[in-house]
Amino acid sequence: MERVLMLGTGCGKAIELYNTCFVLQNEMGDFLVDAGGSIEIEKRLKILNVDIGKLSHIFISHAHTDHIFGLIWLYRKISGMVITGRYKEKVSIYCSEYVYKAIIGISKLVLPIELLDALDKVIEYVVLKDGDIHNINGLDYTFFDTHAKGEELYGFETILSSGKRLVFLGDEICDESQYKRIENADYVMHEAFCLDSEEGIPRIVKEHHSTVKSVCEKMEPLNIKNLILYHTEESHKDRKELYTKEAKDYFSNNVIVPDDLEIIEIK
Ligand SMILES: [Zn+2]
């Protein structure tokens, strides 16, 4: 059985919430999906008992600051552990060619040479092309270009040990070209920046992000069983209740609005 450990659920500019990233966990290991934007990633992994020393699969969906910079902090940690002999694993980093270039470029500019040398001993890059399949902790993941309007953004789909299908769509509005893929899925992970019912919806929502209502209206005809919403603004203390309430008006199946550090049991 798998669990989704939500390390963060906030949007790129969030400061109270951590940026959206999570661990897909099963009995074979942990798979980190995105890394957020800061050293906070280390604290979040520690709180949820995810051992960085055993983290051997990491996927970075795109090259934005709120997904990639946390990886640089993990690199600091991992390389330090390699140097002191406390790190024996190999780490596979799954990402597109563009993200690969960004990670290499940033790392070379900001990490000392001895840390880079240590990383070379344990990091293996798996540069993704649209449709590539990789087995991670016993599950086959199909990685795909989401055809997002903004920067190149990869998502994935996988069949869980229960036989159920989970699709992760990153942090942009799901492009219509992906509707066939997500139709009838058991779990769809999709961004929702804010409520539709509140005033002053930022311009970026219209171009790249969704409101709870807009994503629910799009997902409703696709017969998705469980819709997980994340990558939100952070102005509401009772976000879970407010977002769930709006979602229920437009989406008839189950909606999950996780809090930071919430663990979602995928049954
Ligand atoms: Zn983001």
- The CATH number that applies at residue 226 is 3.60.15.10
Backbone angles phi, psi at 160, to 5 degrees: -75, 170
Chain-wide mean pLDDT for the chain?
96
pTM for the model stands at: 0.97
Cα→Cα distances 163→1, 18, 137, 160, 255, Å: 10, 31, 15, 5, 20
Q: How far is the CA of 169 from the centre of ligand 1 (A)?
A: 11
The candidate with the shortest Cα–Cα distance to 21, out of 53, 52, 66, is: 66
Query: What pLDDT digit, counting tens, does each position of 29-68 carry?
Result: 999 999 999 999 999 999 999 999 999 999 999 999 999 9
Instruction: Give the model's pLDDT for residue 199.
Output: 74
Instruction: Give the model's pLDDT for residue 206.
Output: 73
Beta-sheet pairing, 165-168 with 187-191: parallel
Query: What pLDDT digit, counting tens, does each position of 239-252 carry?
Result: 999 999 999 999 99
Q: How far is the CA of 12 from the centre of ligand 1 (A)?
A: 5
Q: Ligand 1 being an ion, which residues bring their Cβ within 5 A of it? A: 12, 66, 171
Q: How far is the CA of 10 from the centre of ligand 1 (A)?
A: 8
Q: How far is the CA of 215 from the centre of ligand 1 (A)?
A: 16
Cβ burial, residue 158 (10 Å; 0-12/13-18/19+):
buried
Distance CA 138, CA 263 (A): 21
The angle formed by the CA atoms of residues 218, 220 and 226, to the nearest 5 degrees, is 110
Q: Calculate mean pLDDT across residues 114-139.
A: 98
Range of the domain at 248: 2-263
Q: How far is the CA of 5 from the centre of ligand 1 (A)?
A: 17
Q: How far is the CA of 214 from the centre of ligand 1 (A)?
A: 18
Residue type, 3: R
Q: How many CB atoms lie within 10 A of CB 105?
A: 11
In total, how many domains does the chain have?
1
